[in-house]
Amino acid sequence: MTPIAAMPAATPAATSAAATVAGTAGKRRAGRARIAGLLTALLLLAGCAVNPATGQRQFTGLLSPDQERQLGAEQHPQILAEMGGAYEDTSVQAYVEGLGQRLAASTGLPGTRYTFTVLDSEVVNAFALPGGYVYVTRGLMALANNEAQLAGVLGHEIGHVTARHTAERYSQGTLAQVGAVLAGALGGQQLGQAAAAGAQLVMAGWSRDQELEADGLGIRYMAATGYDPLEMAAFLDAMGAHARLEATLAGRPGAADSFSYLQTHPPTGQRVERATEAAGSRPPAGWTTDRDAYLRRIDGIVYGDSPKNGVVRGRVFLHPALGFRFEVPEGFRLLNGQTQVTAVGPDQRSLITFDGAPAQGAPDPAAYLTGVWAPRVPLSGLESLSIDGRPAATAVARADTDAGPVDVRFVALRFDPRTYYRFLFVSAPDATARLSADYRRTAYSFRALGADERAQIRPRRLRVVTVAPGQTVADFVRRMPDIDHAEERFRVLNNLPAGAPLQPGQLVKIVTEG
């Protein structure tokens, strides 16, 4: 590039010529953009139709109903694999299937075949795949306090199916990509990049509108089936309280919208307001909630971790199926995820992660650590260990993060010829020395479980009990196992505001061991 100081000054003639060329090029680009827009508009017009569920014109022409059904069928096994599988209680599955089919019959759209599945996951969540595949977790069922609330959730997810939101999102996204390609071909790379950026903005804005539309459809379906539509707003409020509790337990108060169901849905406050308005516009018609019947249906449902995926008991993680356990330091909170276990320290910068991985032919832990797990990390202090009589290796490294530098200790343990278990210990540099002994104890606390120990690990369950005269919240909290924020959890489970008393004869949910 020529230095600015060495460039000759532009003459008036040169400036005029440049302006003429720029003007001509600008007109050419504008013409090409109009052509690209016209072609895109023609595609949009060809794919538009009135959706009988919403009564609105909708662009779904690039994904047919048959293709939606095929897509849902293909993704269903993957959902089961990633979300803990179907909950192994045939009565609960049959109950949700029956309720879902009654709601589906109220849509007036008989062409879709629905499949309703309760997932064996403690996460409070519900979602739908195209083609009529609807899922709720046992965690969500444990949070609901009556059948109308569950009906509202199922109706909302059915609404996603009847509104053909997947087809709409796919078709709009494809159309935006087509427009970007056309603009790029006709108007050059810059115009194509601008169109692609616009497409991303459109995609980012759809989710909120679609969720609110599904709320409205869900209210319509639950009311048509006889359930009080105001309970949808009540359950949205309960989910907000649950998310706030989870944020507090994770040491992130004020970050409720980043937890569970609310990660992919509009903020609860807005949805409660909209759902309340929609429900209030419908005149009462002898609606029901079926509270007591619902609570008896979920009496005994597994609460929290499932033993087949490992369980957290205080500071100890136990996995009866895989046959091991370990313990984290005082002050750390254990979180059991789909692919790894995480323990977060009280300062939020201290972190422990644990997972398993295939050996990939590594002959020993040191070779695995340096050649398979962290081949491009500048490790130091490589050392061989023995943990629970099994070969292991450890090394350390310094890493830069958005929050500043951290020290990382890697520990790889060979559990069997095909499997390595891995600890990652993270600390801020000024806390490394202080945490070193605690982290060492955690690594050496790993051990195999005996057959008797495995058999004694049982899931926690939700039990429904009747309040006797004179009983208080404290009486029921004392009956629950040692869990963080037990009173808050009891109140969230029972949708009981702080300070609200119990009434004799009232059914309430408590958590028990086994």
- The pLDDT tens digits of the residues spanning 228-287 come to 888 888 898 898 888 888 877 766 665 545 444 444 455 455 555 666 665 566 666 678
Q: Are 265 and 287 in contact (CB under 8 A)?
A: no
Q: Is the pLDDT of residue 186 over 60?
A: no
Q: What is the pLDDT of residue 131?
A: 85
- Residues pairing with 284 in the sheet: none
Taking residues 77-92, what's their average pLDDT? 90
Q: What is the pLDDT of residue 309?
A: 87
Q: Is the pLDDT of residue 26 over 60?
A: no
What are the backbone angles phi and psi of residue 115, rounded to the nearest 5°? Answer: -130, 120
State if pTM tops 0.75: no
Q: What is the pLDDT of residue 439?
A: 97
Q: What is the pLDDT of residue 461?
A: 96
- Residues pairing with 59 in the sheet: 48
Taking residues 484-497, what's their average pLDDT? 92
Taking residues 191-218, what's their average pLDDT? 52
Separation CA 371–CA 338 (nearest Å): 26
Separation CA 151–CA 118 (nearest Å): 14
Q: Is the pLDDT of residue 7 over 60?
A: no
Q: What is the pLDDT of residue 107?
A: 84
Q: Are 364 and 414 in contact (CB under 8 A)?
A: yes
What are the backbone angles phi and psi of residue 57, rounded to the nearest 5°? Answer: -70, 140
Separation CA 233–CA 237 (nearest Å): 6
State the Rg of the chain over Cα: 29
Separation CA 233–CA 229 (nearest Å): 8
Q: Is the pLDDT of residue 192 over 50?
A: no
Q: What is the pLDDT of residue 431?
A: 94
**Left (φ > 0), alpha (ψ -120 to 50) or beta: where does 304 sit?**
left
Q: What is the pLDDT of residue 273?
A: 63
CB atoms under 10 Å from CB of 125, counted, come to: 21
**Tokens linked to 487:** 């009173």
Q: What is the pLDDT of residue 282?
A: 61
Percent of the chain with pLDDT over 90: 46
Separation CA 316–CA 243 (nearest Å): 24
3-state secondary structure of 76: helix
DSSP per residue, 334-347:
EEE-SS-EEEE-TT
The residue length of the chain stands at: 514
Q: List all residues 6 or more positions away from 258 whose beta carbon is below 8 Å from its beta carbon.
A: 247, 252
Lowest-confidence pick of 115-119, 218-222, 441-445 = 218-222
Q: Is the pLDDT of residue 52 over 90?
A: no
Q: What is the pLDDT of residue 250?
A: 67
Q: Is the pLDDT of residue 441 over 80?
A: yes
The CA–CA distances, whole Å, from 53 to 44, 139, 155, 162, 248 equal 20, 30, 13, 6, 40
Supply the mean pLDDT for the chain: 78
Residue 105 corresponds to which amino acid? Answer: A
- Digit-coded pLDDT (tens) for 86-140: 999 999 999 999 999 999 998 877 778 899 999 999 988 888 888 889 999 999 9
Taking residues 301-327, what's their average pLDDT? 93
Nearest to 72 by CA among 152, 138, 161: 161
Q: With DSSP H G I counted as helix, E B as strand and the rest as coil, what are the percentages for the chain, rounded to 5?
A: 50, 20, 30
- Residues pairing with 464 in the sheet: 509
Q: How confident is the model at residue 58 (pLDDT cuts 50, 70, 90)?
A: very low
The per-residue b/e assignment along 272-295, b for 16 or more CB within 10 angstroms, e otherwise, is bebbbebbeeeeeeebebbbeebb
Residue 370: enclosing H or E segment and its boundaries? none
Q: How confident is the model at residue 446 (pLDDT cuts 50, 70, 90)?
A: very high
CB atoms under 10 Å from CB of 486, counted, come to: 18
Taking residues 430-447, what's their average pLDDT? 96
